[in-house]
């Protein structure tokens, strides 16, 4: 089975998983968290982030990229496109679940994650590995922000729930595993379908664990 066909099967599987998780989200009920803008006059509630619905977006985006790859396009860039589409959203949702509610901080989490993906996309097989390494340096910053928020919550007596902490560790482990595989294969990249499956893993785990561990 060639890589394009594998990508087609992956896209179908992700689409099915996304639909099933959508049904679960409806049955579970909304999981919403407020977002605030911290202004000189005090914080202003500007939106409610519907985390329970938003977790369906990253796997759906990876599925779209897999469909494009299945049609013979993005042979060398499918993983970068999928990672750039899904990873920043996953991090924003994890950050908000952990208590980061300031709109500015959320935007910076998204920007740092997106910047890490951009740096990573500059690496070419057999080329200078520094873009890949610098992407890891930048990419760990949003996770450090999440860890700082968790520690701050513990110190102030208002930590994230146990379910959120478990979810955070699981998603982080999946993201680290994806990067480790990419780094070890930096001079001989895996087929796009395999890379897309690894990119989809943190997104799918997040979408599964939110209704399982986070109350509405």
pLDDT of residue 76: 67
Mean pLDDT per 10-residue segment, the chain (216 residues): 84 94 92 93 92 96 91 77 94 97 96 94 86 92 96 93 96 95 82 88 96 88
Give per-residue burial for 65-100: e unless 16+ CB within 10 Å, then b: bbbbbbeeebeeebbbbbbbbbbbbbbbbbbbbbbb
CA 188 to chain centre: 24
- The token pair at 20 is 């099933």
CATH number for the domain whose boundaries are 3-213:
1.20.1070
Task: Count Cα atoms within 13 angstroms, Cβ side, for 178.
Answer: 27
pLDDT of residue 42: 86
> In whole angstroms, what is the distance from residue 96 CA to residue 121 CA?
27
pLDDT of residue 140: 95
Neighbouring CB atoms inside 10 A of 45's CB total 10
Give the residues across from 37 on adjacent strands: 44
pLDDT of residue 192: 80
pLDDT of residue 69: 84
pLDDT of residue 186: 82
> In whole angstroms, what is the distance from residue 62 CA to residue 81 CA?
8
pLDDT of residue 202: 97
- The token pair at 129 is 């590995």
pLDDT of residue 75: 65
CA separation, residue 47 to residues 33, 34, 57 (Å): 9, 6, 18
pLDDT of residue 211: 94
> In whole angstroms, what is the distance from residue 161 CA to residue 174 CA?
20
> In whole angstroms, what is the distance from residue 47 CA to residue 195 CA?
34
> In whole angstroms, what is the distance from residue 124 CA to residue 43 CA?
45
Closest CA to 202 of 107, 113, 105, 101: 113
Give residue limits of the domains in the chain: 3-213
> In whole angstroms, what is the distance from residue 82 CA to residue 65 CA?
6
């Amino acid at each position: 089975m060639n890589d394009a066909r594998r990508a087609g099967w992956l896209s179908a599987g992700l689409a099915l998983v996304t639909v099933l998780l959508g049904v679960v989200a409806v049955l579970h009920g909304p999981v919403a968290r407020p977002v605030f803008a911290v202004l000189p006059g005090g914080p202003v509630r500007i939106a409610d982030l519907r985390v329970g619905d938003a977790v369906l977006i990253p796997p759906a985006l990876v599925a779209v990229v897999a469909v494009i790859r299945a049609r013979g396009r993005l042979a060398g860039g499918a993983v970068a496109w999928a990672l750039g589409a899904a990873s920043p959203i996953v991090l924003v949702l994890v950050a908000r679940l952990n208590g980061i509610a300031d709109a500015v901080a959320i935007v910076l989490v998204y920007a740092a994650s997106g910047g890490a993906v951009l740096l990573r996309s500059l690496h070419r097989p057999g080329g200078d590995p520094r873009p890949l390494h610098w992407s890891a340096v930048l990419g760990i910053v949003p996770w450090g922000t999440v860890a700082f928020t968790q520690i701050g919550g513990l110190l102030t007596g208002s930590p994230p729930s146990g379910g959120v902490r478990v979810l955070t560790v699981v998603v982080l482990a999946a993201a680290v595993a994806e990067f480790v595989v990419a780094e070890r294969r930096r001079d001989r990249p895996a087929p796009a379908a395999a890379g897309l499956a690894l990119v989809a893993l943190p997104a799918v785990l997040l979408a599964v664990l939110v209704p399982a561990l986070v109350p509405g």
